[in-house]
Amino acid sequence: MFKGSRFGLVALVALVAVGGCTQETPQPDRTGTAVVTVGMPFTSLNGGTAEGRAPGSTLIRSLVQAGFVSIDEDGTAVLDEGFGTVEKVSDAPLTVRYTIDPAATWSDGTPVTPADLLLEWAARSGQLDDVAPELDAQGEITNDDELDAGVAFAAASPALVQAQQLPTVDGATLTLVYATPVPDWQVALDVNVPAHVVGQSALGVEDPAEAAAAVSTAIVDENKEALSAISGAWRTDFDADALAQHVDQAVSTGPYAVDLVVPGERVELVRNDEYDGEGAASFDRVVVRSDLEPLEQVEALAAGSADVVAPTDTRDVLDALDEVTGADVRTGGDSTLQLQLQTAGAGAFDPATYGGDAAVASAVRQAFLLTVPRDALVANVVAPLWPEAVVASALLPTVGPDAGGDVAPSGPADVAGARGLLEDAGVTEPVTVQVLVNTTDPLRAAMLALITESAAEVGFEVEPYAPVDGLGPDLVGAPDAWDAALVPVPQSDLPLDSVLSRWRTGGATNVTGWTDAATDAATTALAQTVDPDAVEGQLAAVAESLDAGGAVLSLVRQPIVVATRGSAAPTAGTTPAAPDVEPLALGRADLTDWWAWARTG
């Protein structure tokens, strides 16, 4: 029998340390090659795993993988009918039909088939798993032996767990039926890793068509022995370390194909001659390096050994870029920095601290947020790195930077208003606020200093909280240790579910313990929404409830910078300068459109 998912996965924003260069770097004589440098390494080609959704992996996957749909900056599904079609054929029950275009082909020449979609359903629905991962405080798996012995894709999606029936296949079409409405249905399922490669690796079937068919048969028959091997291969065969040894398994569907993986250092991509969609490869080869520190990236640009660099946006980096003759430098914004208030940790903002009086706790939350000098944070901290920066006024950035609308308009700190709220609530003693924040980041440290100074005028004593198990683990696992978290909030691969799981009572990623009748009503309505045109209004209702309750405050988008050689003349044998490269927002769930400069019009 198929069963419901037995576990959920919480996505955390990880800080990744980039190792030093250990192998010979690409040489300057590289006609037809574009070299890109970034600060995050590639870790997996499998977008169904946490490693595959890490920023450095998303960057690579967005150029080598095509599919039915991508996600734009606003969280909107962008359909690629050259790959196939996604159609909602019924609302009750929600039924979605996928039809693969005959031109869709893997880079080894094997056609894309419903077997590839069926494998992804098996992996992400959780219906076939019979063992769940056990995690330690740092989120590391501690029961690898049990996972290897059982059926453990260990990657259940909050959307696809609702697709509990075995999908039906008819020719080039797969049909999926959901047990409940899923607002993210447009982006819930897509082609990910190749079923035929998994079948060859896990089941030892050489012929690609027969290998894909063997995977499908194992899923339909619930063959535990075969599924154990298949799930293990799905989990691990597409990690960077595995692909470094078997790059032939890095089969893809996009304009480029993976040619070389050097873990922690670089990935080299080549033109995919099997790709027949829009936006074919503009270059013979694209090299994505992650082995250079920020100032070393600038040096590589100046030396002509890199064409596009995306270092951390700091004053030192910008000053160094100013010295690169002819460089085209662009700044922009990435993930939204937010203050999220803890309401369930018996601290400054928990009703329990005030004898269970929710109105008093709400007043204290709103008073604290009124003391935040968002205009000064932008002008004094961010604008020197990104002159166009503005106060972020939307509260749901996991969907997009403007999701939910302009519910918290910009302005200076309202010290008088904050004092009035506290006086009316009868709060006369100083309130200590422990802030969970990465103080090793100069940007966030400077923000915290301004917040601390402003809040002190009203009687809030703001103190930084030093994480014990780490920023991410303590955000999730230590609610009684912090009162506010100053964190970057990236876009989610399931944008609407990210709002539901983060803000409704008891949600899987509700790290602040937020519970509110108006929010629950708004998220319940959003959860039932399967019409994409109706989503905007539902998100606005959620955002308005959060603003009214003093749950969260957006500050500003994190500044980023990208630089290209611009008008600088290429040295003999190098590639012409890349045109119109936008700032690289690694917090985006999908970077397909960022690569427009590396694809033909």
Nearest to 386 by CA among 589, 230, 559, 223: 559
The more confidently predicted of residues 579 and 277 is 277
The more confidently predicted of residues 23 and 441 is 441
Q: What mean pLDDT is predicted for residues 167-173?
A: 98
| Contact criterion met (CB below 8 Å) for 558 and 310 | no
C-alpha 487/C-alpha 490 separation (Å) is: 10
Q: Tell me, what's the pLDDT at 28?
A: 40
Instruction: Categorize the per-residue pLDDT at 135 as very low, low, confident or very high, splitting at 50, 70 and 90.
Output: confident
The more confidently predicted of residues 220 and 26 is 220
Task: Return the number of other C-beta atoms located less than 10 Å from residue 501's C-beta.
Answer: 21
Q: Which residues of 27-43 are buried (b: 16+ CB within 10 A; e: fewer)?
A: eeebeebbbbbbbbbbb
330 bridge partner residues? 562
Q: What is the pLDDT of residues 510-545, one digit of tens each?
A: 999 999 999 999 999 999 999 999 999 999 999 999
Q: Tell me, what's the pLDDT at 512?
A: 98
Residue 5 has pLDDT above 60, yes or no: no
Q: Tell me, what's the pLDDT at 568?
A: 56
Backbone angles phi, psi at 563, to 5 degrees: -140, 140
| Contact criterion met (CB below 8 Å) for 470 and 140 | no
Backbone angles phi, psi at 425, to 5 degrees: -85, -5
Q: What angle, 0 to 180 degrees and rounded to 10, lies between the N-to-C axes of helices 294-303 and 315-322?
A: 10
Residue 409 has pLDDT above 90, yes or no: no
Three-state helix/strand/coil letters over 374-395: HHHHHHHHHCCCCCCCCCCCCC
Q: What is the pLDDT of residues 350-406, one digit of tens each?
A: 999 999 999 999 999 999 999 999 999 999 999 999 999 999 999 999 999 999 999
Domains and CATH numbers, the chain: 29-60+254-326+566-600 (3.40.190.10), 66-236 (3.90.76.10), 333-559 (3.10.105.10)
Q: Tell me, what's the pLDDT at 479?
A: 93
Q: Which helix (H) or strand (E) holds 294?
A: helix 294-303
Q: Which helix (H) or strand (E) holds 475?
A: helix 471-477
Report the predicted TM-score, pTM, of the whole model to 2 decimal places: 0.92
Residue 310 has pLDDT above 50, yes or no: yes
Q: Tell me, what's the pLDDT at 347?
A: 96
Q: What is the mean pLDDT of the chain?
A: 92
Q: Which residues of 448-481 are buried (b: 16+ CB within 10 A; e: fewer)?
A: bebbbebbeebbbebebbebeebbbbbbebbbeb
Quick one: tokens of 38?
């970034």
| Strand ranges (E), 422-483 | 431-436, 460-465
Lowest mean pLDDT among 218-222, 268-272, 527-531, 570-574: 570-574
Q: Tell me, what's the pLDDT at 1?
A: 32
Q: What mean pLDDT is predicted for residues 488-514?
A: 98
Who's near 179: CB < 8 A, 6+ residues apart? 93, 162, 163, 164, 165
Residue 239 has pLDDT above 50, yes or no: yes
Q: Tell me, what's the pLDDT at 570?
A: 53
Nearest to 477 by CA among 511, 504, 438, 510: 511
Please identify which residue in the block is written with the tokens 């076939």: 128
Residue 12 has pLDDT above 80, yes or no: no
Instruction: Categorize the per-residue pLDDT at 142 as very low, low, confident or very high, splitting at 50, 70 and 90.
Output: confident
Backbone angles phi, psi at 549, to 5 degrees: -90, -5
Q: Tell me, what's the pLDDT at 141?
A: 80
Task: Return the number of other C-beta atoms located less than 10 Å from residue 536's C-beta.
Answer: 14
Mapping DSSP to helix (H, G, I), strand (E, B) and coil, where does residue 477 land? helix
Nearest to 133 by CA among 151, 152, 119, 115: 152
Instruction: Categorize the per-residue pLDDT at 573 as very low, low, confident or very high, splitting at 50, 70 and 90.
Output: low
Q: What is the pLDDT of residues 15-35, one digit of tens each?
A: 222 233 333 344 444 558 999
Q: Tell me, what's the pLDDT at 24?
A: 39
C-alpha 99/C-alpha 102 separation (Å) is: 9
The CA-to-CA distance between both ends of the chain, in Å, stands at: 49
DSSP conformation letters of 479-538: TTT-SEEEEEEPPPSSHHHHHHHHHSTT-TT-TT----HHHHHHHHHHHT---GGGHHHH
| Contact criterion met (CB below 8 Å) for 34 and 575 | yes
C-alpha 13/C-alpha 470 separation (Å) is: 11
Instruction: Categorize the per-residue pLDDT at 160 as very low, low, confident or very high, splitting at 50, 70 and 90.
Output: very high
Q: What mean pLDDT is predicted for residues 66-80?
A: 97
Q: Is 472 left (phi over 0), alpha (psi -120 to 50) or beta?
A: alpha
94 bridge partner residues? 91
C-alpha 37/C-alpha 26 separation (Å) is: 12
Residue 13 has pLDDT above 50, yes or no: no
289 bridge partner residues? 37, 266
